[in-house]
Structure 1
Amino acid sequence: MSRNVTGTGARRTARRTGGNGGAAGAAVAAVTAATVGLGVLMTGPAFAAGAGPAAAGGAQAPVVTRAGLDPSLVAGRGASVGFAEQEAENAATNGSVIGPDRTAYTLPAEASGRKAVKLTPGQYVEFTLPSAANALTVRYSIPDAPGGGGITAPLDVTVNGKNRTTATLTSQYSWLYNQYPFSNDPGAGLLHPDWWITECGCVPAATTPAPEITKPFRPNHFYDEQRLLLGQKYRAGDKVRLTVPAGSNAAWTVIDLVDTELVGLPHVDLAAANVLAFGADPTGRRDSADAIDRAIAFAQRTHLKVYIPPGTYQVNRHIVVDNVTIEGAGSWYTIIKGHQVDLATPAPDGSVHTGVGFYGKDAAAGGSSNVHLSGFAIEGDVRERIDTDQVNGIGGALSDSTIDGLYIHHTKVGLWFDGPMKNLRITRNVIADQIADGLNFHTGVTGSLVQNNFVRNSGDDGLAMWSEKIADANNTFDHNTVQTPVLANGIAIYGGTDNTVSGNLIADPVREGSAIHVGSRFGAEAFTGRLSITDNTTVRAGTYELNWNIGLGAIWFSALDKSIDADIRVTGDNFLDNTYNAIMLVADWPVKDQYSITNVHFKDIKVDGTGTSVVSARAAGSATFENVDARNVGAVGVNNCGTFHFTPAGSEFALNDLGGNDGGGTTGPWLAGWELPNTITCDDRPPVVAPPAPSAW
């Protein structure tokens, strides 16, 4: 989530430009029919016959993964997606495999599975299609410009050695530096010289002489992704080769993975209000925002849907939506793309830019309702993090509404909602390469569902509920996949009442957060009722917390602003290949004697591999453990420092053994002997033992 000041909702009022009346209505069906053909022409012969038998020899057999693992290890968890993930390190290449490495500010650490392939000009990586496909997404990194701002570089794509397409890669949306909220300038000095710096073990502003900080300082957010329609349908076994052409101005190109899929025909709605009838430009040369507004106004009067046919539509501001259904032809075909625009004067909410986005009305103005958005892509132009800016893909307050099948790319936050609002359904969306969060329910969002979404490379929490001022309540994050959040957590719950996190797959958090976080932080309302964290799987989680200089658990609880004492049930979860601990409960040092963590219950848990302990307790309080099975534990099963008072009675954190807690590591059973009466087992910074790769239980 945004760490200091965050976006505060849509402050824009709806623009209602007059429609074209009866003439527009008569033209809608004819324009729609005409532009179906236009869409196919624009995207090429996407569904021609397959390319024939696979070429013999050369490439490796396809290795399909989910979150970098054999899919059987994460079966039933995460989003159901239409693409097959293939990691570059499992493909044929004459380049170099980099990693594994989980050290923040390195290219392998931000790669899926913590490995990737590095190519120099002339080198390639070749993937074998596991099933029929006509489209691919490539996740990559290329260098920044020496002074920041990014470069572009070519990448040749061929199938079976033919049909070459040259993609243009860019680093304009990657490469951030320095301390929060980060800089695009690799040569920048410290943004906060009065902050503690782990690298020097000091506060530079209070240190004489002031230390020299290596520049660029803390480079991060290295990766981006690009989607390509291949022009025809190819068969399983065909070879897709990505080659860096000789003479590329990128000294290196890192390929992390490709996702391949078979994209269906464009969706058509002949009865809807077609935006072309109102003057929208599908070539992207002219701004289409006013035309879309006119189509919305007409659709509201006539009780029609709005249809946006195949094309790229330039939109450089918010489209304010209320009581309307807007459908695209599919996220591969209908692209709403905009520039970030400087505002002449800051907006009342502090925004200094605007950009493409679909926004409900502000909650203070009653919010919006009955809004249904589906089947299009939102391509933003956000290259820096300014927390007051409203440059999110979707924003404002939307009640009794649905958001389905969108692709949201290069915005600040994919979907940021400022309540109070209720009954929102967010399903089957792909949210990639955000500067901040993937999605955030902020302030009084209730009765809402986030299900079957795929989030990758968020610049902050992948999915978050933030109960600032008003509790989020009765919401569910279910069967989503969150991969490689660069900062903070995969899924974070900050206060709230009766919320559920279930069936999700979270992999490869990079720094200062982890896979699942339960936090009394950022001014959130207290946890009340029940919080259910059920049947989730985390993979390669547990990052290094710079400020504390310790490793975090794959799931971690933090009592910073107040105690955590709601009924919290962690049931049926799997914590795989944990970098440090599987489970962590902590209160920050300045408040460790004020706040505690109690009433947390762990049941039917599997822990496969920890770099250190199964449980790290660094707070007062208690938790129960029942049927928690662990193996490949790198250190003592319980690292129980409590609040570091080390009283004669033992630690201030009680681990209550309800039975069935089996397994462990080199030191014996993970829980036996460390429960009540709480023998103190405290190693402030235990050595890390890399666990083996997960396997079937």
Structure 2
Amino acid sequence: MTRPLPAVAALAAASVTLAMLAAAPVATAAPPWSTPPPDPIVTRAGLDPALTEGRGAGVPFLEQEAENARTNGTVLDAGRDAYTVAGEASGRSAVSLAPGQWVEFTLPAPTNAITVRYSIPDAAQGGGITAPLRITTKNKPYTLTMTSQYAYLYNQYPFTNDPNAGLLHPDWWITECSCVPQFDLPDFEPAKPFRPMKFFDEERVLFDKTYQAGDTIRLTAPHGVEATVIDLVDTELVGPPVQVREAENVLEYGADKHGRRDSAPAIEKAIAAAQKSGLPVYLPTGTYRVDRHIIVDDVTIVGAGHWYTKVKGREVALSKPAPDGSVHNGVGFYGKDAADGGSRDVHISGLAIEGDVRERIDTDQVNGIGGAFSDSTFRDLHIQHTKVGIWLDGPMSNVTIDHAIIVDQIADAVNFHRGVTDSRVVNTFVRNTGDDGLAMWAETDQNAGNVFERNTVQSPTLANGIAIYGGRDNTVARNLVADPVREGSGLHAGARFGAQPFEGALGFTDNTTVRAGGFELNWRIGLGSLWIYALDRSIDGAIRVTGDHYLDSTYNAIMMVSEWAVRNDVAITDVAFEDVRVDGTGTSVLSARVAGGASFENVDARGVGAVGINNCGSFNFPPTGSEFTVADLGGNDGGGTTGAWMAEWELPNTITCDDRPPVVAPPPPSPWAQP
């Protein structure tokens, strides 16, 4: 386990600086303020909340971006490039503070708790530093301990914590040199740190009193840290802790609520008693140290609320690998393996799970919740610093995850992995994942009848906001996805990773993406806010996209593509778009780089930066036209710099291929005129 450096030494060693890593230029520092505080600007995913109404998770907090607050620091210029601080920030901007500088927020509503999303430098040799952030409210100081011990990954997948490491895979293609160094340029050495990512972390503070709307909260950067970057503050009014009197109280079985002793045995005794008594297990306010999996079956576990009850553990190296390949253990509630029948009737709510995962090891089972469950619920949870928040290995059915907050993960927030059926993730908030935010992966066994609905996914640093890999009759509805950074999209359907075929109908309904459709670094092309990808096989199951809004897409709103090597073997067919709005694209509404076709009805677009349909088909360019056919079913209005996006001369399969069209940044999203 990486141990924190002593505070003074750690700050002195922080040579991997944010200034070095942030490639984008910065704006002029804001002047000191002496005027009364401005009205607070409350946003959702960096937008006016009216633009996302009815979509995304219903959360108890109010978001304020630091770039909209009062500061004597420096507002970072907006930027969307990978490997930059601004690119990973919510809304693609933040405020950088030199020692002693501050940013100040005006409270929009009564508040007794805040969450601060921030970034501080790594240590020179990796492993992170810690530093205090001073919080002042009505002249009363509080201190929040910032850390970069769970941030900073470098290099090639599966990444390293060492900023000075050489290439992990010199036999892989490197876009920076357009080569495979082992063969083409044996002496190639990339600049170090190579491909830094995952700059941000967040911390929560529960105050000892309630402050009123109009009061101010000032965050002041510590001395000894070259740059403290504040991305946003979430403010909240947290209710009192939940009391459960008729329960098996873990304190009565020897649990230590101060976190000094291992509480796992006491919690397991309480679970065994609850399985006999039929009562729930109750974890009162406190921090309970758990450094391994607690196996749960046929039990209800209730905390006092995730602000009050924390189950926290260290990552522990195993003396030898476990049968599943794990080389570490860590805090987590796990169902029995599916091969052993899985677990049933498990209900966990009202607590936080805080792990200690700092590196990505795909064989490790160090997730907040894992294993197989059926007829189970996971509610009102806060999960942080685990590998995956909730990774469910089926076959299993009838699981509901709702009102969860899952942040700062090394990999996914939630993954329905193989054979998960009739299960739901609803009203869940996700931020800063190192892989897909929410995923259904039908590897080996088909996923079917699942729903991701009314969730918010922000700033996945790698891969997609919401990804569906194979499956039958699954639904993605009324979600809000913002700011995917690298090698991914807002919404994704992929025939890849050995997934089962798409069958029945996959529905994308009434979702909103914001600042998605980023750059694919290996292909060197812009993706789509919705990305449909045929790699392992054709996608011939129905995909129905209805009511989606794609706002401020960095490149395309929609990308349908196959890999070059299989372009003549696969196709994407039976895709229909209806009642979709596209508000701003850097390039096209549709980029088609695959055989097949799609239909469009009542798809309205504005602020389109390039040709509306960039139709390359399979790149064979036959005289009969593109291998991808566009069906215009009417009502497809609007366009951009090149005219109507659905131009007559582009139909039904006119080749309009521009492999890498220039980007024209669109205007900011705005309300759509009512018909």
For the aligned pair, the TM-score class normalised by the smaller chain equals over 0.9
1:673–1:679 contact (8 Å) kept in structure 2: no
The one-letter code matched in structure 2 to 1:281 is D
2:629 alignment partner, SS class: strand
The Cα of 1:58 is off from its aligned counterpart by 3.6
Q: CA separation in 2, counterparts of 1:271 and 1:576?
A: 49
Q: CA separation in 2, counterparts of 1:266 and 1:208?
A: 61
Q: CA separation in 1, counterparts of 2:574 and 2:152?
A: 42
Map of 2:190 onto structure 1: 213
**2:121 pairs with 137, 143, 153, which one?**
143
1:656–1:675 contact (8 Å) kept in structure 2: no
Residues 560-602 of structure 1: CA deviation (Å, up to 9, x unaligned): 0000011110000000000000001000000000000000000
Map of 1:389 onto structure 2: 364
Residues 311-341 of structure 1: CA deviation (Å, up to 9, x unaligned): 0000000010000000000000000000000
1:70 aligns with 2:48: yes
1:227-376 mapped onto 2 (5 Å cutoff): 227-245=204-222, 248-376=223-351
- Shift in CA distance, 391/674, structure 1 to aligned 2, threshold 3 Å: farther
The Cα of 1:680 is off from its aligned counterpart by 0.9
1:508 aligns with 2:483: yes
The Cα of 1:250 is off from its aligned counterpart by 1.5
The Cα of 1:57 is off from its aligned counterpart by 4.2
Map of 1:46 onto structure 2: none
Q: CA separation in 2, counterparts of 1:345 and 1:58?
A: 61
Q: CA separation in 1, counterparts of 2:227 and 2:191?
A: 22
2:119–2:199 contact (8 Å) kept in structure 1: yes
The one-letter code matched in structure 2 to 1:544 is F
1:634-673 mapped onto 2 (5 Å cutoff): 634-673=609-648
Q: Report runs of 4+ in structure 1 exceeding 2 Å deviation.
A: 55-60, 673-677
1:129–1:238 contact (8 Å) kept in structure 2: yes
1:118-197 mapped onto 2 (5 Å cutoff): 118-160=96-138, 162-197=139-174
1:376 alignment partner, SS class: strand
Q: Mind listing any 5+ residue stretches in structure 1 that lack a counterpart?
A: 1-54
The one-letter code matched in structure 1 to 2:204 is R
2:631–2:652 contact (8 Å) kept in structure 1: no
The Cα of 1:244 is off from its aligned counterpart by 1.2
1:308–1:329 contact (8 Å) kept in structure 2: yes
The Cα of 1:61 is off from its aligned counterpart by 1.5
1:396-435 mapped onto 2 (5 Å cutoff): 396-435=371-410
1:475 aligns with 2:453: no
Q: CA separation in 2, counterparts of 1:192 and 1:411?
A: 26
The one-letter code matched in structure 1 to 2:383 is I
Residues 220-267 of structure 1: CA deviation (Å, up to 9, x unaligned): 00000000011100100000000013xx23111000000000000100
**1:460 pairs with 427, 435, 443, which one?**
435
Q: CA separation in 1, counterparts of 2:146 and 2:554?
A: 32
1:557 aligns with 2:535: no
1:133–1:233 contact (8 Å) kept in structure 2: yes
The one-letter code matched in structure 1 to 2:43 is T
Map of 1:450 onto structure 2: 425
Q: CA separation in 2, counterparts of 1:228 and 1:208?
A: 50
2:150–2:358 contact (8 Å) kept in structure 1: yes
| TM-score (ref. length: structure 2) | 0.94
2:281–2:301 contact (8 Å) kept in structure 1: yes
> Alpha carbon RMSD of aligned pairs, Å?
1.0
The one-letter code matched in structure 2 to 1:499 is N
Map of 1:621 onto structure 2: 596
The Cα of 1:212 is off from its aligned counterpart by 2.2
The one-letter code matched in structure 2 to 1:241 is R
User: Looking at both structures, which has the greater relative contact order when contacts are Cα pairs under 8 Å and sequence separation is at least 6?
Assistant: 1
Map of 1:378 onto structure 2: 353
The one-letter code matched in structure 2 to 1:145 is A
Map of 1:198 onto structure 2: 175
The one-letter code matched in structure 2 to 1:228 is V
The Cα of 1:425 is off from its aligned counterpart by 0.6
1:240 alignment partner, SS class: strand
2:650–2:656 contact (8 Å) kept in structure 1: no
1:506 alignment partner, SS class: strand
The one-letter code matched in structure 2 to 1:322 is D
The one-letter code matched in structure 2 to 1:98 is L
Q: CA separation in 2, counterparts of 1:659 and 1:323?
A: 54
Residues 197-238 of structure 1: CA deviation (Å, up to 9, x unaligned): 111011111114532211100000000000001110010000
1:491 aligns with 2:469: no
- Shift in CA distance, 454/208, structure 1 to aligned 2, threshold 3 Å: closer
Map of 1:20 onto structure 2: none
Q: CA separation in 1, counterparts of 2:557 and 2:479?
A: 16
**1:106 pairs with 84, 87, 95, which one?**
84
1:654–1:675 contact (8 Å) kept in structure 2: no
The Cα of 1:677 is off from its aligned counterpart by 3.9
Q: CA separation in 2, counterparts of 1:538 and 1:171?
A: 29
2:179–2:185 contact (8 Å) kept in structure 1: no
- Shift in CA distance, 558/276, structure 1 to aligned 2, threshold 3 Å: same
2:555–2:586 contact (8 Å) kept in structure 1: yes
Q: CA separation in 2, counterparts of 1:234 and 1:374?
A: 28
The one-letter code matched in structure 2 to 1:346 is P
Q: CA separation in 2, counterparts of 1:249 and 1:443?
A: 48
2:601–2:635 contact (8 Å) kept in structure 1: yes
2:274 alignment partner, SS class: helix
Q: CA separation in 2, counterparts of 1:599 and 1:689?
A: 31
The Cα of 1:675 is off from its aligned counterpart by 4.2
1:77 alignment partner, SS class: coil
- Shift in CA distance, 134/641, structure 1 to aligned 2, threshold 3 Å: same
Map of 1:25 onto structure 2: none
The one-letter code matched in structure 2 to 1:484 is S
Q: CA separation in 2, counterparts of 1:666 and 1:89?
A: 30
Map of 2:25 onto structure 1: none
Moved more, 346-355 or 57-66: 57-66
The Cα of 1:676 is off from its aligned counterpart by 3.0
2:584–2:667 contact (8 Å) kept in structure 1: yes
2:60–2:236 contact (8 Å) kept in structure 1: yes
Q: CA separation in 2, counterparts of 1:489 and 1:188?
A: 27
The one-letter code matched in structure 1 to 2:156 is Q
Count residues in correspondence.
Answer: 640
2:443 alignment partner, SS class: coil
1:298 alignment partner, SS class: helix
The Cα of 1:163 is off from its aligned counterpart by 1.3
Q: CA separation in 1, counterparts of 2:224 and 2:158?
A: 30
Residues 15-66 of structure 1: CA deviation (Å, up to 9, x unaligned): xxxxxxxxxxxxxxxxxxxxxxxxxxxxxxxxxxxxxxxx994422200000
2:182 alignment partner, SS class: helix
1:657–1:675 contact (8 Å) kept in structure 2: no
The Cα of 1:373 is off from its aligned counterpart by 0.2
Q: CA separation in 2, counterparts of 1:573 and 1:276?
A: 49
2:463 alignment partner, SS class: coil
